[in-house]
Amino acid sequence: MDQIECVIIGAGVVGLSIARALALEGRDVLIIEKEDAFGLHTSSRNSEVIHAGIYYPKNSLKAQLCVKGKELLYEYCEIRNIPHKRVGKLIVATEDFEVETVKQYIPKAIDNGVGDLVWLSQEEVRELEPEVRSVGAVFSPSTGIIDSHNYMLNLLGDAERAGAVVVYQTTIASIKPERNGFVVETVGLNAHEIKAEIVVNAAGLYACDIGRAVADLDENLIPQPFYAKAHYYSLSGRNPFKHLVYPVARKDSLGVHVTVDMGGAARFGPDLDWIKGIDYSFDNSRQKLFYDAIRRYWPCVNRDQLQPSYTGIRPKISGPNEPAADFLIQSHRDHGMKGLINLYGMESPGLTASLAIAEMVNRLIEPDA
């Protein structure tokens, strides 16, 4: 039986960030990924937005880790020349009754440590985005965009240069606690039994499955998974947008917003559709839903300009009729198993928060953390 100090389950952006942090601390790290490449699920099927930390409840992990992670991420991108840009975001009110709702984002952001939001009049919005229809907007200058694949490639490179190893097409069969560690049994291309002192479950969409694979782990500590599927449409032809444009948030999502990528192309999404399993098929019948939503703030849109792009799935741990759950990061303090860290519900803003999440996990690994 091989022995390793740390096993990281999942090579998405969170798993790679954690692997990098632990490897840079001098730990021996093995990353186990069920797919044949890194970041094929939630990490690459999103809007590639660097979030400011506006929407999340005060003192929540999402708020704290997003704000801290944003700072770390911008710094990391600058050092590594990772394509990114602080394009800024407009949260627009399209009707008078939405104005107070939008303005409330300013004190909410301040509660989270984000003090740079400003209210813009209709005329000021028009100066920034001439084709956007609004009665005013809140502007977030620290919101940005990033090339997520390049970012993950750098994280993996850092981890590997520090000695970490990644194996693909390998699935966790069981995790059995033993004295001073765990026996991790894998199946697939690299089927093996591994003795590890530390196991970090960063499996994203499959994190709850991994939790259930841990022998003797209290089932009441494993949340029920929910899957929220998002569709994205790309804009064909000229892109008039220089900034991200978001409508007023709805109960269970931020609505159909427009983002721009590093190539200057515009895309719209996400709308959320609750599904029972992992299914990335594209339902083009949703085009009218997108068209009607976009017309509220961009009346110039032509329905034929909306082209099917891709779908993504958020690993939620709260259902469609429940308040959005916070990140759930469990250590020995929660389950009593020294060396085991479970991360559940690592959806947005997971990409933005990834480096801060890694710092937190690194602290939690120590028994007195």
Q: What is the CATH number of the domain that holds 179?
A: 3.50.50.60
Q: What is the mean pLDDT of the chain?
A: 95
Together in a domain, 309 and 267: yes
Q: Write out the residue range of the structural domain in which residue 290 sits.
A: 86-141+225-316
CA gap 278, 253 in Å, rounded: 19
In the three-class reduction of DSSP (H, G, I as helix; E, B as strand; rest coil), residue 225 is classed as coil
Q: Which of 294, 316, 338 is the last residue of a domain?
A: 316
Contact by Cβ (8 Å): 140, 116: yes
Together in a domain, 40 and 160: yes
pLDDT given for residue 254 in this prediction: 53
Together in a domain, 155 and 14: yes
Q: What value does the mean pLDDT take over residues 315-325?
A: 94
Q: Is the omega angle on the peptide bond into residue 349 within 30 degrees of 0, that is, cis?
A: yes
Q: How far is CA 234 from CA 246, 333, 339, in A?
A: 16, 45, 44
Q: Is the omega angle on the peptide bond into residue 270 within 30 degrees of 0, that is, cis?
A: yes
Together in a domain, 305 and 172: no
Q: Which of 316, 340, 356 is the last residue of a domain?
A: 316
Contact by Cβ (8 Å): 138, 118: yes
pTM of the full structure: 0.96
Q: What is the CATH number of the domain that holds 308?
A: 3.30.9.10
CA gap 184, 195 in Å, rounded: 6
pLDDT digit string, tens, across residues 243-266: 999 998 765 455 799 999 999 999
Together in a domain, 218 and 249: no
Residue 332 lies in a domain: yes
Cα angle for residues 218, 221, 227 (degrees, 5° grid): 130
pLDDT of 301 > 70? The answer is yes
Together in a domain, 219 and 232: no
For residue 214, the 8-state DSSP code is B
Residue 76 lies in a domain: no
Together in a domain, 136 and 160: no
pLDDT given for residue 369 in this prediction: 44
DSSP helix, strand, coil percent of the chain (3-state; round to 5)? 30, 30, 40
pLDDT given for residue 93 in this prediction: 96
Percent of the chain with pLDDT over 90: 92
Contact by Cβ (8 Å): 305, 234: no
Residue 71 lies in a domain: no
Together in a domain, 137 and 229: yes
pLDDT digit string, tens, across residues 58-115: 999 999 999 999 999 999 999 999 999 999 999 999 999 999 999 999 999 999 999 9
pLDDT digit string, tens, across residues 1-38: 689 999 999 999 999 999 999 999 999 999 999 999 99
Q: At what angle do helices 61-80 and 148-161 cross, to 10 degrees?
A: 80
Total number of domains in the chain = 2
The dihedral through the CA atoms of 63, 67, 72, 75 has a sign that is positive
Q: How far is CA 245 from CA 94, 188, 294, in A?
A: 12, 44, 10
Together in a domain, 339 and 297: no
Residue 63 lies in a domain: no
